[in-house]
């Protein structure tokens, strides 16, 4: 049984990380400092008081409004914080305090920020790619992952290479960009972290989730058919996260095992 004190501590840690991710999501694409000035209302510039800046709770304490000018805050701030806390606890429940937990938690936090930045701006900042590449080098240098570097290198080529090929092919057929180069670079990093088997599954789940989302958006007439722009980063993130959440510390995966039992 998981110690509730440890679980609560991890939840608090997770929502605190989520609070910082909100800053990254808002400021990084605008080339603003992530640390200065501190949290403040972007309408009246009034600093947010410490007691009002508690992750998740702060949003409800303020009733989603600035205490000074009553400008509304997006509920997404609280949702990002809550999801970060919950996913931290889920990853711990799955992997315990193993290298998987630390690697996948770090990866998930990055994917959360990437998802919302791509949704808002249709970009994946190079800072995430550089951070990911540095992380890969550190992880393999200190042998912090059970994945062999050859597995990681091949996974990077499969993940990033497939997206690159699809982008080139799509641009040739559609005469416009279909897969952005930022997605390709993200695929290289993710493949390097999760290896061959998980890269293939993550790719499949990425396109599957994108297909489902497009059908839903079309059904509710929310798809922008004029620009035709659909950020793919969120679906890459969703596919990768689903792969992580259905995997086990011994290298098995629930979805892959189900497929093999069903088809073979």
Looking at residue 234, its pLDDT comes to: 96
Torsion on CA atoms 9, 14, 18, 21, rounded to nearest 10:
120
Q: Are residues 90 and 133 in the same domain?
A: no
Please check the confidence at residue 47 and state whether its pLDDT lies above 70: yes
Q: Do 80 and 48 fall within a single domain? A: yes
Answer yes or no: pTM beyond 0.85. Answer: yes
Residue 143 tokens read as 């042998």
Show the domain range for 216: 98-264
Average of per-residue pLDDT across 151-176: 89
131 in the same domain as 10: no
Instruction: Give the residue with greater pLDDT, 145 vs 183.
Output: 183
**C-alpha to C-alpha distance for 91 and 38, rounded to whole angstroms:** 30
State the pLDDT confidence band at 171, using cuts at 50, 70 and 90.
Answer: confident
Considering 62, 79, 96, which residue would you say is the last residue of a domain? Answer: 96
Residue where a domain stops, chosen among 66, 96, 126: 96
pLDDT band at 170 (very low <50, low <70, confident <90, very high): confident
Same domain, 126 and 58: no
Closest CA to 31 of 131, 130, 126: 126
Are 168 and 257 within one domain? yes
18 pLDDT tier (thresholds 50, 70, 90): very high
pLDDT of residue 227: 54
Return d(Cα 78, Cα 19) in angstroms, integer. Answer: 8
> How confident is the prediction for the chain on average, in pLDDT?
90
In this prediction, residue 162 carries a pLDDT of: 95
Nearest to 173 by CA among 165, 184, 161: 165
Q: State yes or no: pLDDT of 228 exceeds 70.
A: no
Peptide bond between residue 167 and the one before it cis (omega within 30 degrees of 0): no
Kindly state whether residues 74 and 104 are assigned to the same domain: no
Q: Which residue has the higher pLDDT, 217 or 183?
A: 183
Using the predicted structure, report yes or no on whether residue 179 has a pLDDT greater than 90. Answer: no
99-126: average pLDDT: 95
Number of domains the chain is built from: 2
Higher pLDDT, 250 or 162: 162
> Do both 104 and 172 map to the same domain?
yes
Q: Is there a single domain that holds both residue 54 and residue 105?
A: no
Residue 223 has pLDDT above 80, yes or no: no
Q: pLDDT at residue 92 above 60?
A: yes
- The reply to whether 32 and 134 lie within a common domain is no
Residues 89 and 103 placed together within one structural domain of the fold: no
pLDDT cut 70: percent of the chain above it: 97
Do 28 and 124 lie in one domain? The reply is no
Instruction: Assess whether pLDDT exceeds 90 at residue 26.
Output: yes
For the chain, give percent helix, strand, coil, nearest 5: 70, 0, 30
Yes or no: say if 177 and 212 are a contact pair by the CB < 8 Å rule.
no
In this structure, are 120 and 109 located in the same domain?
yes
Residue where a domain terminates, one of 79, 96, 113: 96
Between 32 and 242, the higher pLDDT residue? 242
Region 91-102 average pLDDT:
93
């Amino acid at each position: 049984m998981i110690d509730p004190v440890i679980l609560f501590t991890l939840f608090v840690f997770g929502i605190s990380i989520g609070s910082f991710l909100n800053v990254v999501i808002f400021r990084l694409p605008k080339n603003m400092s992530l640390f200065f000035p501190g949290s403040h209302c972007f309408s009246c510039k009034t600093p947010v008081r410490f007691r009002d800046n508690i992750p998740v709770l702060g949003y409800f304490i303020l009733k989603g409004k600035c205490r000074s000018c009553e400008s509304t805050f997006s509920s997404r701030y609280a949702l990002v914080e809550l999801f970060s806390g919950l996913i931290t606890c889920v990853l711990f429940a799955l992997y315990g305090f193993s290298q998987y937990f630390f690697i996948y938690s770090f990866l998930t936090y990055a994917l959360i920020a990437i998802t919302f930045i791509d949704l808002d701006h249709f970009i994946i900042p190079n800072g995430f790619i550089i951070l990911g590449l540095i992380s890969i080098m550190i992880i393999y240098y200190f042998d912090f992952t059970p994945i062999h570097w050859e597995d990681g290198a091949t996974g990077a080529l499969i993940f990033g290479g497939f997206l690159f090929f699809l982008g080139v092919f799509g641009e040739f057929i559609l005469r416009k960009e279909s897969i952005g180069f930022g997605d390709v670079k993200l695929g290289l990093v993710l493949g390097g972290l999760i290896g061959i088997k998980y890269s293939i599954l993550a790719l499949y789940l990425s396109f599957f989730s994108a297909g489902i989302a497009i059908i839903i958006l079309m059904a509710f007439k929310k798809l922008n058919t004029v620009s035709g722009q659909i950020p793919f980063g969120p679906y890459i993130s969703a596919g990768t996260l689903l792969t992580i959440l259905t995997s086990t510390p011994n290298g098995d995966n629930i979805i892959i095992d189900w497929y093999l039992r069903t088809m073979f």
